[in-house]
């Protein structure tokens, strides 16, 4: 089966690498155009290393791109993390159509930041879906799904890199095999259960210290490492990454209650957030203990709005 892989970044590269390792016939690789001042995409570098035909179109609607795809005579298009819309005219070029990876249990969390939001909402499970893309946003029929647990202290980084990423690569291979065998199911999504969230951005990651302890903790976990939960200190942004929560009486919300061996503790209704890693505005990430030692913060300091 002749396969085009369209992907980006580490996940796209990992899928391509796994497919080549087991002998899949990858006839071409598509990825996003280079961005000025940024390193080449890992999947691009790997495709060039393996001397695979590489294409970086700005659009999949133009005739040149469609002709390039047709010339490869593909049986299947695998979308392994893409940010450029692929219309039906391109998706239908392969004789067996196209399949796409999405890091949530569709129809839940349709949209681009589908791992952040469930963690921020306190979910105890999430997962991934391989589906047949259509012109809607993550609305196509489901081929297969895999679930993962979200531990009470798991961050965005843990859920993605340690759980969804490796399982997602396995799921892509499994889906390719089902397509090749002619046994791949098509399961309609239940639109009545659908949820959609857009990009999780800086404005969504501001800590409201008046919120219950669990909500504050979930916000920090769900935005670590991106976009990074933040508060204000002396009028400047202070991002908070690694932390722990301690249930108890707490204190004045947003107030630094004590200095710890690892950093400092901040009160929220129901307890404290023990901060272990921070990034001050204009600086790099640093252990919170070093931030404290450098005079960055002291007991009694009020963070954010009181």
CATH of the domain at 78: 3.40.50.170
- Are residues 231 and 140 part of one domain? no
The torsion of the CA quartet 33, 36, 42, 44, rounded to 10 degrees, works out to 40
The conformational region for residue 262 under phi > 0 = left, psi -120 to 50 = alpha, else beta, is alpha
- Are residues 176 and 238 part of one domain? no
- Are residues 208 and 188 part of one domain? no
Would 115 be classed as within a structural domain?
yes
- Are residues 101 and 17 part of one domain? yes
Computed on alpha carbons and rounded to an integer, the radius of gyration of the chain in Å comes to 22
- Are residues 126 and 66 part of one domain? yes
**Cβ within 8 Å of residue 15, ≥6 positions away:** 5, 7, 78, 80, 101, 168, 169, 172, 173
| CA 153 – CA 163 distance, rounded (Å) | 14
Name the domain boundary from 193, 224, 247: 193
- Are residues 161 and 276 part of one domain? no
- Are residues 6 and 142 part of one domain? yes
Name the domain boundary from 172, 193, 214: 193
For 129, the 3-state DSSP assignment is: strand
The string of DSSP letters for 219-249 reads HHHHTTTTT-EEEEETTEEEEE-SEEEEES-
- Are residues 223 and 282 part of one domain? yes
Other C-beta atoms lying within 10 Å of the C-beta of residue 244: 15
- Residue 224: name the closest of 210, 209, 244 by CA: 244
Number of domains in the chain: 2
Would 37 be classed as within a structural domain?
yes
Q: CA end-to-end span of the chain, whole Å?
A: 61
CA angle centred on 14, ends 13 and 18, rounded to 5°: 115
pTM, full prediction:
0.95
CB 139 within 8 A of CB 190: no
- Are residues 187 and 277 part of one domain? no
- Are residues 35 and 12 part of one domain? yes
Range of the domain at 145: 2-193
| CA 299 – CA 306 distance, rounded (Å) | 15
Encoded tokens for 64: 């040149």
Would 300 be classed as within a structural domain?
no
- Are residues 66 and 161 part of one domain? yes
Name the domain boundary from 140, 161, 193: 193
* pLDDT computed for residue 296 by the predictor: 87
- Counting as low any pLDDT under 70, the low residues of the chain are 305-306
Would 298 be classed as within a structural domain?
no
- Are residues 250 and 136 part of one domain? no
The structure tokens 């790997």 sit at 46
- Residue 273: name the closest of 203, 192, 219 by CA: 219
* pLDDT computed for residue 249 by the predictor: 87
Question: What DSSP element (H or E) covers 46?
Answer: helix 42-49
CATH number reported for the structural domain that contains residue 260 in this entry: 3.10.25.10
Would 102 be classed as within a structural domain?
yes
Would 109 be classed as within a structural domain?
yes
């Amino acid at each position: 089966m002749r396969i085009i892989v369209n992907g980006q970044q580490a996940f796209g590269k990992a899928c391509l690498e796994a497919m080549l390792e087991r002998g899949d016939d990858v006839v071409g690789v598509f990825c996003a155009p280079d961005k000025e001042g940024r390193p080449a995409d890992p999947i691009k570098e790997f495709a060039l290393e393996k001397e695979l035909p590489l294409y970086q179109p700005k659009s999949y609607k133009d005739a040149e791109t469609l002709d390039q795809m047709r010339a490869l005579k593909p049986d299947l298009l695998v979308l392994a993390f893409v940010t450029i819309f692929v219309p039906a005219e391109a998706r239908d070029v392969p004789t067996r159509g196209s399949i796409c990876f999405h890091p949530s249990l569709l129809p839940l969390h349709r949209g681009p930041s589908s791992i952040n939001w469930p963690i921020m909402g306190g979910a105890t499970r999430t997962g991934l879906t391989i589906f047949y893309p259509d012109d809607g946003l993550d609305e196509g029929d489901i081929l297969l799904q895999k679930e993962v647990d979200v531990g009470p202290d798991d961050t965005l980084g843990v859920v993605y890199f340690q759980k969804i990423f490796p399982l997602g690569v396995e799921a892509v291979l499994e889906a390719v095999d089902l397509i090749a065998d002619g046994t791949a199911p098509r399961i309609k999504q239940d639109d009545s259960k659908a949820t959609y969230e857009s990009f999780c951005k800086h404005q969504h990651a501001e800590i409201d210290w008046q919120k219950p302890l669990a909500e504050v903790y979930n916000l920090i976990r769900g935005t670590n490492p991106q976009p990074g939960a933040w508060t204000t200190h002396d009028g400047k942004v202070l991002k908070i990454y690694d932390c722990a929560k301690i249930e108890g009486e707490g204190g004045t919300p947003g107030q630094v209650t004590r200095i710890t061996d690892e950093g400092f503790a901040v009160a929220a209704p129901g307890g404290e957030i023990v901060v272990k890693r921070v990034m001050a505005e204009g600086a790099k990430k640093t252990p919170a203990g070093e931030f404290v030692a450098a005079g960055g913060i002291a007991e009694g300091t009020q963070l954010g709005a009181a």
